[in-house]
Amino acid sequence: MKGRLLISAAVVSLGMAGMAWSQGNSATAEIEKYREMLGDGNPAELFEMDGEALWATARGPKNASLQKCDLGLGAGVVKGAYAQMPRYFADSDKVEDLESRLMTCMVKLQGFDRAELSKKPFGTANYKSDMEALVAYVVGQSRGMPMAVPTAHPKEKAAFELGKQIFFYRAGPYDFSCATCHAMTDARIRMQDLPDLTSPAGSQRAYTSWPAYRVSQSLFRSFQWRLNDCFRQQRFPEPTYASESTIALTSYLATMANGATYQGPGIKR
């Protein structure tokens, strides 16, 4: 039922694009003002502080910190690393996004168990997620840097292509794909603009504002969480955390955003 409403909302905003546009213009400007005002102080900073402390704290069976973790720019280099992820890592011989890479480091350096780490990666009102705090810290260290996701390695190329396929792949009870909502311009669901993720402009704007603090949940949300929420709304089963497919989809979206300035962590309604 809800899915149908979603479809019809999308169709309506498409079909009446001209009208919705003239009518929605001032509303859009006001929403823009709302977002701008929220930008002047982002509670994501609280999570960044937590993550920064966690990064340097000796933890796990090996009682080690993450300060030797290689996020792609060398052991311990956090500055700018997120703007160049996902990327191929020789030691794991695969393309990893930030969350997968953090787990790899937590396993290798700290001795944690990957399956355990994947069980509860997202925070709730009563559960503080270490992963989301670490993500907040790392992405904050790429603020203001140009997106430069590497594409030269064959596995990076393969991840991009797989991600693109997933983006356009229609499935689920409502025969939805990511592209159903995110491959058209000037469309929206109620007051929310739907970015066209197949265009550089749309993709850059959307990708560089995630991960983000979500005001409706009072929580910081990682990119894997954001993808899960899209799949949920498409009525897909929840993907495995930091799986090959979610990393590939992230590779596609991140590469499409190349050239833009990373603005995160964002703040969202």
Residue number, 84 or 263, with CB nearest to another protein:
263
Please, where are the H alpha helices in the chain?
Answer: 2-15, 17-39, 44-56, 98-108, 114-119, 130-140, 154-168, 178-182, 200-207, 223-233, 244-256
Q: How far is CA 249 from the centre of its chain?
A: 10
Identify which of residues 26 and 90 has a Cβ nearer to another protein in the complex: 26
Within 8 A by CB and 6+ apart from 192, the residues are none
Tokens 């590779």 belong to residue: 251
Is the preceding peptide bond at 86 cis, omega within 30 degrees of 0?
Answer: yes
Would you state the torsion angle of the CA atoms of residues 225, 250, 85, 131, taken in this order, to the nearest 10 degrees? 10
Q: Which amino acid is at 72?
A: G
The residues binding another protein (CB under 8 A) are: 6, 9, 27, 30-31, 33-35, 37-38, 40-43, 45-47, 49-50, 53, 125, 128, 133, 188-192, 194, 213, 215-216, 218, 220, 226, 229-230, 233, 268-269
Q: Please confirm, yes or no, whether 230 is among the known catalytic residues.
A: yes
Other beta carbons within 10 angstroms of residue 121's beta carbon come to 20
Please say whether the beta carbons of 259 and 147 come within 8 A: yes
> Annotated active-site positions, please?
230
